Amino acid sequence: MAEPVLEVQGLTRRFGDFTAVSDLSFDIQPGEIFGFLGPNGAGKSTTIRMLCGVLTPSAGTARALGRDLFTEADLLRSRMGYMSQKSSLLTDLTVAENLRFFGGLYGLEGQRLASEVSFRLHEMQVWDQRDALVAELSTGERQRVALAAATLHRPEILFLDEPTSGVDPLRRRLFWEAMDELVAEGMSILVTTHNLGEADQCDRLAFILGGRLMAYGRPRTLKEALGRQVLELRADRFRDLQLAARRQPEVLAAELLGRSVRISLSASLAPEALLARLRAEGHTFEALPAEQPSLEDLFVDLVQHARTA
Ligand SMILES: Nc1ncnc2c1ncn2[C@@H]1O[C@H](COP(=O)(O)OP(=O)(O)OP(=O)(O)O)[C@@H](O)[C@H]1O
Ligand SMILES: [Mg+2]
């Protein structure tokens, strides 16, 4: 792998005697879209806020673009961009006025400012809204304007905290296309999301729970590492089938999905062996082809595991 653009070691943040982020270590490779996944309160925003210099860490180190992120923050600020979870746009200014304002904060002025604003307005597909007040925009438009504002100075590392929350699937896709363009420009992106479809599109993921890193890697590797198979059985007597499946020791979970039973099966038992056992008990059903577990399976698994631990 190349030299990471960001390398975090043992990052920790305490609020009084509560530890919001605990001993977090990960790195981000050049040109990567790196996803942060975890339930509410997991510590995602707190981590991002420390990396953006908004919040002081209690412990840990971080290097970004070859410099110490915490002691050389002033040298790095202009090379990083941040879109916070709560939009920082000024709602009583127009879209273009907002971008000129934020560009000014980054030190852009004159012709350079005008051309960067125009470039981003087009790229984020909000050119037609340039003279509208931010207060009048839809959520999807507003989020794309916020992304434009965070990237006017062409940062090399971009932190996006839940940029697509409340955005419909079509506009969400538009937002991800814009992120792909930013990566093509040479940016590396850390993005938090609650959307598992989005998480699946990330190059790598960190799954955080209670401030700790629970799983880390490529989405596909993480799903494979779950070591289980997912089966869907269609049956008229689906409730009986669900109970029968739950009695099998290798069945990790059996949930109803319409008139089907969705079974999560340990890798220690072949699916055919399970089907044979259920048939031997007198159950009739139609088995759909086995699937790979989804990120949702991973998510549920980790949360349940943490609860019982
Ligand atoms: N300034 C603060 N003072 C005290 N506790 C805080 C502070 N900021 C965050 N916390 C706590 O730290 C924990 C992590 O919060 P954080 O906002 O990082 O979670 P998150 O993963 O971003 O959640 P969400 O998905 O809801 O945005 C929460 O329990 C929160 O209440
Ligand atoms: Mg958050």
Same domain, 87 and 100: yes
- pLDDT (tens digit per residue) in 140-158: 999 999 999 999 999 999 9
Mind giving me the DSSP string for 122-151?
HHTT-GGGTTSBGGGS-HHHHHHHHHHHHH
Q: How far is the CA of 43 from the centre of ligand 2 (A)?
A: 7
Specify the number of domains making up the chain.
Answer: 2
Kind and range of the H or E element at 51? helix 44-51
Same domain, 209 and 280: no
Write the CA distances from 179 to 76, 114, 202, 231, 255, integer angstroms: 21, 22, 11, 35, 36
* Domain boundary, last residue among 207, 223, 239: 223
Write the CA distances from 221 to 205, 216, 225, 227, 297, integer angstroms: 10, 9, 6, 10, 13
Same domain, 280 and 133: no
Contact 152, 96 (CB under 8 A): no
Mapped onto helix, strand or coil, the DSSP state of residue 178 is helix
Contact 271, 228 (CB under 8 A): no
Residue 161 CA: which ligand is closest?
2
pLDDT for residue 309 is more than 80: no
- Residues 274 and 279: their CA atoms lie apart, in Å, by 9
Same domain, 205 and 258: no
Q: Among 24, 46, 49, 165, which residue has the most ligand 1 atoms within 8 Å of its CB, making it the best to mutate?
A: 46
Same domain, 79 and 172: yes
Find out whether the beta carbon of 40 lies less than 6 Å from any atom of ligand 1.
Answer: yes
Residue 43 CA: which ligand is closest?
1
Find out whether the beta carbon of 100 lies less than 6 Å from any atom of ligand 1.
Answer: no
Kind and range of the H or E element at 62? strand 59-64
- CATH code at 262? 3.30.70.100
Take atom 26 of ligand 1 and give the residue whose Cα is closest: 40
Task: Give me the pLDDT at residue 66, please.
Answer: 94
Same domain, 235 and 287: yes
Same domain, 201 and 245: no
- pLDDT (tens digit per residue) in 6-25: 999 999 999 999 999 999 99
pLDDT for residue 1 is more than 70: no
Taking alpha carbons only, the member of 147, 135, 136 closest to residue 174 is: 147
